[in-house]
Amino acid sequence: MGTLKTFILLAAMTALFMGVGYLIGGVPGMALAFVVAAAMNIFSYWNSDKIVLSMQGAKEIDPQTASPMLRTFAKDVALLADRAGMPPPRVYIIETPQPNAFATGRNPQHAAVCATTGLLGMLNRDEVRGVMAHELAHVKHRDTLTMTITATIAGAIGMLANFALFFGRDRTGLIGSIAIMIFAPLAAGLVQMAISRSREYEADRMGAEICGNPLWLASALAKIERGARSTINVAAERNPAMAHMYIANPLNGRGADNLFSTHPATANRIEALRRLAADMGVTAPQASPAMRREAGPWG
């Protein structure tokens, strides 16, 4: 059902893009919008990981020169990927004090996961494993490709809507053009948020299964929520269309609630993870035997 819902929402996003094209330029405008949307989707498919990582200022971890903590982090990601039946992704780091993480890539064979220095500094090792398992779940379900394409189309709808004031007035009039400028990006944003929210719960569930303890991720989410609300992620603020790719909303750094959210309420996600833990017979976020609960940055 989650896959079907995502497909329907993506179809709605493409239809909205074509509809704005029709309002501006009639049938030729709609046809042109369809061609542009197809071209953007193809470009995003092959370059989604490069686009996102570059826009967020991420740097790949080099095992030869990285610190012991980063080498351990990359090793843990590889172990989790093996447990999930996936090839190990490339591992990146972003220099920002805000605790957060995301994944990108068109499929498990071309994937990358990224954590902020704030995440590694605030969370203990098991909590970081819970977060990375969540991101690997996104990769396994190919949510990363879906969310990148969604962000690309949403940005294009906003750009196309701005053209309405200058090129669409003959068809829609001044009031109609202004309405398109306002409501088309709003509708695109709502669809984008719906896609993101529909995938987060499923990634939480699968991530908990990958790492073996839902309470690791539940504890991590609580810490990330507090940290994200008090710390600004500069790269994310510059590119807000990518906010839905993070495990928690990175735009909360200004301390004010957004009118619309790209993520489910953290309290609801934590409660769902606690119910899953009860179903799995897990009663405490106990450390795995191979990985003691060192405090961040793990000593």
Residue ranges at the known binding site for Zn(2+): 134, 138, 200
Under DSSP, the state recorded for 66 is S
Tell me whether strands 111-116 and 90-94 are parallel, antiparallel or unpaired: parallel
8 Å CB contact between 121 and 296: yes
Return the closest-CA partner of residue 147 out of 296, 13, 295.
13
Q: Pairing mode, if any, of strands 59-60 and 111-116?
A: unpaired
Helix residue ranges, H only, the chain? 2-55, 68-83, 117-122, 125-140, 143-167, 169-211, 214-230, 234-238, 266-280
Rounded to 10 degrees, the C-alpha dihedral 118/121/127/131 comes to 30
Kindly name the residue from 135, 202, 271, 294 that is annotated as catalytic: 135
* 237 a catalytic residue: no
Residue ranges for the binding site?
A: 134, 138, 200
Q: In what order do the strands lie in the sheet with 90-94?
A: 59-60, 90-94, 111-116, 101-105
Phi first, then psi, for residue 140 (nearest 5°) are: -65, -35
Say if residues 190 and 244 touch (Cβ distance below 8 Å): no
Give the residues across from 104 on adjacent strands: 112
Return the active site residues.
Answer: 135
